[in-house]
Structure 1
Amino acid sequence: MRPLGAAVGDARLVGVGQAAHGSHDFLALQHRVLRYLVEEKGFRSFVLEAPWSAGLRLDDHLLTGRGDPARIMSEEFQDAYLFMRTREVLDLIRWMRAYNVAHPGDPLRFAGNDSSHVGPELYDRVLDHVRHAHPDLLPTVTRLYRGLRPTLPAGEHMAASLEEPLAVRQEKAARTGRVLELLRARSFAGLTATRGDHLRAVRNAEVVHQVARQNAFDYDDPAEERRALAYRDTVMAENTLWWLRHTGARTVLAAHDGHVYLEGFDPDYPVIQGGLLRRALGDSYRAVGLAFGHGSFNATGTGVAAPRPEDVKVFRSGPAAAGSVELVLDRVGHRNWYLDLRTAPPAVRSWLDHARPKREIGTHWPRDPDRVNLLRSADVLVYLREIRPSRPLLPG
């Protein structure tokens, strides 16, 4: 890890990607990088491509020991987030908790930054704050939130929300937006709430609105769907930056390559989180991209819109495509290796500075390779010769 630590330098935020969501090896590498940066470089925070409400519950577990992390993951990581409900992620959380027990005065923190779901407890947190700090607003906020708090399991709620008529989804977003406006207009009440309490409540109300706003796009309109994808990555960047400022801690961000990269490779994603983070933080954000030669991974078949555990299967990649990134990278003599793209020799940088086919596997397979310009997308590249499937966390 030492050469990677040198590449990280004094960066405050390091994004570590995945070239396949359902890979044991990419999740294990994210854990290994976090552990090294915590123990050797003073990092103290981890942000995952997961719901904000899941992050709050897991962060509370890390700080207090309350709750069962496996149960929290089972309740929160549903639908597209199934690929985070794994033994690898649970091992990471258990290591973080053990670290906090051993270092109670210098704890590790955990956050989710995504906008596809918000659990019922986030509504409860906003209402509890209003009840104690701004009781005059309670009737109004209660009315605006009425019927919005999820009552179904996360996956069912996510699917049902998008099946509602567009006008209903837009009306819900208008209500969550109004709550956010009301809280932003208030200052913290000195005797009943601290400034930190107020800022956290406003952030929670904002995340509730982010999810409602994410659901309020017209996904039957291709142009509107592109705007929805841009909104999602914008929100992920905003939530990550808020967490970075709130904790003041050097942080590891774990997400798919497509959310970590500095430049997008998918024309349907006109805005990506990594590019926004670089714009906001400059060289204080480092992007670590991942690639692999061959192997197996978990995914769903194409066309599965709301995956359930039984939809997830093990797939094996085929040979590297002609002219692909992987075809050349696999010729390097080392089995697993990394390269600081910023200091690579000129000939290597020249080869990297072209868009070429590269496997970027999200939740489904098969799919055509994307075209990625590695030099413009990442600061560091990690290559694994072979990958294995992640280990799903089974119920019970």
Structure 2
Amino acid sequence: MKTGNSAIASTVRPVDAAAVLRLLPADRPRLLALGEPTHGEDALLDLRNTLFRQLVEEAGYRTIALESDCLRGLAVDDHVSGVVTGRDALDDVMRDGFSHGFGASAANRELVCWIREFNDGRPAADQVRFAGFDGPLEITGAESPRRALTALHTFLAEHAEHGDQSGADLLPCTARTLDELLGADDRWTEPAAMRDPARSVGRSPDAFRLRLLADDLLALLDAQAPHLIAASSREAWDRARLYGRTAVGLLRYHDGMADPSPSRMTRLLAVRDVMMADTLLALAERGPTLAFAHNSHLQRPRSTLRMDGHPPLNWWSAGALAAARLGERYAFVATALGTIRHRGVDTPPPDTLEGLLYALPHERCAVDPSALAARLGDPAPAPRVSPWFGYAPFDPAQLGDCDARLFLKDLPPLPR
């Protein structure tokens, strides 16, 4: 391995949107995925915000998608589009429009405020849109499919028709039947079900019937697309399709929670990323989109999760699934860090990839992975081991599997 600083320095660029775009195989990928190696650090989100503003102003990007609940994100999108106004409305959307606690982030609040300010006075076609692309899922379990299923059913009941038949005649069930099959929401959100498949409702007779009904409702939405778009709007149809995809995904996830087989956790991870990929592909169809999530959800190689006492879990990420469909219209920019001292992540060893970059004078830089791999030669740098489970270091074996890499030397020790 060649480790001369001058050789490595020749592979780095400034961190701005123009420099990053020049490293990518396509001039303006339809889906540009920016990964982070840990959650909860506003310094990473500040960098994301800066890059997104530049992508909007210089490259025509008009959507940002975050690793947050796709249904909650609709409230944020309504806010930045001007549907909801007022200071209290901002507080409400930051509280209710994000999952995983991301609404508490000052950087996420700044992002929402900037998008709304940018959109003010602009025609709808030129406005920036916000989306979540995670499912309504948390580590402890999954949401009831009620919200998604009932919203889809309501849309079809109001707008579907065929000759003499109204939406009510075409639907496979009534709203009352749907409500009875769903039952109480707390049986879907039972906390014990994540660890005990027997506590999950996902393979009950009601759940099986709901899966069939969800499929029928989504099929009707697609079969009547020309009429439904004309009767409402493309925007309303897209949103109904999001409800349908989410309902099907949630029911599939609950079925996986009830699976007692050894492949249970692998299946749950895979179902989650399929839901993510489907939403990202729908957003990319609308226009150039920046997706922001953990590196493991956006990388092209298989993702791996190691759990104590269990074999590693492997599945294809949302990014890998989207890349398979989009080809060069998908680009992945991974991020790594030097130190997170307030988390016990200190100066990286000099023989690791992070250590080599840490030795450079730049506080942050964009790296050309292909050029860096050529400069380093063989053997590859040593893998870094993080003392904190929340930070996922560079995998040297995946150096060439992304289109660009960002490196931040030191994260600030305290929140802003």
* TM bin (shorter chain): 0.7 to 0.9
- Pairing partner for 1:375 from 399, 406, 413: 399
Q: Distance in 1 between matches of 2:408 and 2:70?
A: 30
- Pairing partner for 2:296 from 232, 253, 258: 258
Matched residue, 1:129: 155
Aligned length: 364
> Where does 1:170-209 land on structure 2 (aligned, <5 Å)?
170-171=203-204, 173-186=207-220, 187-188=223-224, 189=227, 192-193=231-232, 197-209=236-248
Q: Residue 355 of structure 1: CA displacement? A: 7.5
Q: Residue 202 of structure 1: CA displacement? A: 3.5
Kindly provide the CA deviation profile for residues 27-53 of structure 1, in whole angstroms up to 9, marking residues without a partner as x. Answer: 111111111100000000011111110
For structure 1, which runs of at least 5 residues remain unmatched after alignment?
Answer: 297-313
Q: Distance in 1 between matches of 2:179 and 2:241?
A: 15
Q: Residue 203 of structure 1: CA displacement? A: 3.1
> Where does 1:103-142 land on structure 2 (aligned, <5 Å)?
103-105=122-124, 106-115=126-135, 116=137, 117=142, 121-133=147-159, 134-136=167-169, 137=171, 139-142=173-176
Amino acid at match of 2:202: R
Kindly provide the CA deviation profile for residues 298-318 of structure 1, in whole angstroms up to 9, marking residues without a partner as x. Answer: xxxxxxxxxxxxxxxx63323
Is 1:327 the counterpart of 2:355? The answer is yes
- Find the residue that maps to 2:29 and give its secondary structure: coil
Amino acid at match of 2:411: I
Q: Distance in 2 between matches of 1:176 and 1:372?
A: 45
Matched residue, 1:271: 316
Larger radius of gyration: 2
Q: Distance in 2 between matches of 1:215 and 1:370?
A: 33
- Find the residue that maps to 2:370 and give its secondary structure: coil
Q: 1:353 to 1:360 in 2, by over 3 A?
A: farther
Would you say the 8 A contact 1:352–1:374 is kept in 2?
Answer: no
Q: Distance in 1 between matches of 2:34 and 2:385?
A: 17
Q: Distance in 1 between matches of 2:372 and 2:390?
A: 32
Q: Distance in 2 between matches of 1:228 and 1:258?
A: 15
Is 1:16 the counterpart of 2:56? The answer is no
| Identical-pair percentage | 23
Matched residue, 1:317: 345
Q: 1:92 to 1:347 in 2, by over 3 A?
A: same
Q: Residue 360 of structure 1: CA displacement? A: 11
Q: Residue 146 of structure 1: CA displacement? A: 3.7
Kindly provide the CA deviation profile for residues 96-133 of structure 1, in whole angstroms up to 9, marking residues without a partner as x. Answer: 11111142341111111112155865444223213312
Q: Distance in 2 between matches of 1:286 and 1:347?
A: 22
Would you say the 8 A contact 2:65–2:133 is kept in 1?
Answer: yes
Q: Residue 344 of structure 1: CA displacement? A: 4.0
Would you say the 8 A contact 2:276–2:318 is kept in 1?
Answer: yes
- Pairing partner for 2:101 from 76, 82, 85: 82
Q: 1:169 to 1:76 in 2, by over 3 A?
A: farther
Matched residue, 1:5: 21
Matched residue, 1:33: 51
Q: 1:151 to 1:261 in 2, by over 3 A?
A: same
Q: Residue 254 of structure 1: CA displacement? A: 0.3
Matched residue, 2:11: none
Matched residue, 2:178: 144
Would you say the 8 A contact 2:172–2:217 is kept in 1?
Answer: no
Q: 1:11 to 1:371 in 2, by over 3 A?
A: closer
Q: Distance in 1 between matches of 2:414 and 2:242?
A: 33
Matched residue, 2:113: 94
Q: TM-score, normalised by structure 1?
A: 0.80
How much is the aligned-residue C-alpha RMSD, in angstroms?
3.3
Amino acid at match of 2:322: L
Matched residue, 2:93: 72
Q: Residue 354 of structure 1: CA displacement? A: 6.6
Kindly provide the CA deviation profile for residues 274-300 of structure 1, in whole angstroms up to 9, marking residues without a partner as x. Answer: 22222111111111111111125xxxx
Moved more, 99-108 or 121-130: 121-130
Q: Distance in 1 between matches of 2:391 and 2:261?
A: 22
Q: Distance in 1 between matches of 2:387 and 2:65?
A: 21
Matched residue, 2:70: 52
Q: Distance in 2 between matches of 1:21 and 1:368?
A: 10
Q: Distance in 2 between matches of 1:37 and 1:179?
A: 41
Q: Residue 215 of structure 1: CA displacement? A: 2.7
Q: TM-score, normalised by structure 2?
A: 0.76
Q: 1:202 to 1:104 in 2, by over 3 A?
A: closer
